[in-house]
Structure 1
Amino acid sequence: MSLLIDFYLGKLPNRHNKSLYDIWALDKFWLENDHHYIQWLFPLDIKSSCNLYAPIITKAEREIFSNSDQLKKNQIRSLDLMLDFFGLSREGINISAQENLNIKDHIWLKRGGHNHLRITRIIRSLGLCSQISFAKAFQATVIKLGQEKGKVEPKTISYWENALLNLD
């Protein structure tokens, strides 16, 4: 197996000595201020400019994700963690705003910021890991709420709209 797959199965910690279970237990302050966990929860097929030790998901690892119910289940649990952080919730495939969603407490609704990059990463990673229905549901929700309840710039919306292009 690979380090990424072993991490996602809960067998090994990441390069920052955090297990998948450690990350799932973190509070919102930590999720906002740490910049090393998101690349492990939602790996991409390109190098991270923020974390030199972040995994890059390979075609072989994508195939393993595609065929593993446990890996997909664990990634959806990671999605749920981030949805709550963003003031969102999920029921089945449906993603919606929590009652307390507001621009003051959920800074992704403001202009700019690293959470916009995180959202793009999550959308794309879900697509890369054969979770396209969840990727599209999350994508549609953040685009709608970003426009209706937030001040998200059109350029950011465009990144979110294009995050699922060229998944091959």
Structure 2
Amino acid sequence: MAEPAAGPLHDFLAGVGRDSRGRLAADVLGFSDSELEAIHDYIQWMFPLPTPSAAQPHSPVLTQSEIEAIRADPHSVETLKMAAERMLRFYRSTSWWLTSHDHNHLRITRIIRSLKLLVGTAEARAYHTSILDIHEAGGGIVNGCSLQFWHEAASE
């Protein structure tokens, strides 16, 4: 029998819990590119952090016990990896975020930080490199501040 989840974020990433709108992680992974762009409350669930979200202040915040449980749970780690790959496909197939300022730049920082915290430095750095490759191929017009945040998130 599986260990009980450590909290709502662990439940969600483990595939047994629902977010505040009743969605499973699998539902979010199935979002179209348009849904990923238009819906703004999934990113805090898919890529949680131990700090409150300014954009979604009612989203749950990781506790230390959840961090440890997620790291130790192969299903949760796999969900995070699938979510990162889905977001990379989104960023590769869309270009509206390739501008000087866009809310997706904040999402990218969150993704890198969450991957580093919950999956590991190598995964975070690989994601960062992939994003930079997409950015360069798109003309390299993201603002320097966002690029610095991404770098710091991958390097912390």
| Equivalent of residue 109 in structure 2, options 120, 124, 144 | 120
Point out 4+ residue stretches in structure 1 off by more than 2 angstroms. 143-150
Unpaired runs of 5+ residues, structure 1, are 88-100
What SS does structure 1 have at the residue aligned with 2:97? helix
Query: Structure 2 matches for 1:1-168, cutoff 5 A?
Result: 1-87=6-92, 105-147=94-136, 149=138, 150-164=140-154, 166=156
Secondary structure in 2 matching 1:118: helix
Gaps spanning 5+ residues in structure 2: where? 1-5
**Shift in CA distance, 55/164, structure 1 to aligned 2, threshold 3 Å:** farther
Deviations 1:102-140 (A, max 9, x none): xxx422221111000010000000011033211001112
Structure 1 or 2: more helix by fraction: 2
CA distance in 2, matches of 1:126, 1:56: 15
CA distance in 2: counterparts of 1:12 and 1:65, whole angstroms:
13
TM-aligned CA deviation for residue 148 of structure 1: 5.2
Distance change (3 Å), C-alpha of 1:51 and 1:118 = same
Structure number with higher strand proportion: 1
Q: CA RMSD in A?
A: 1.6
Q: How many residues align?
A: 150
Q: Contact 1:24–1:81 at 8 Å: present in 2 too?
A: yes
Contact 1:143 1:160 (C-alpha < 8 Å) held by counterparts: no
SS in 2 for 1:49: coil
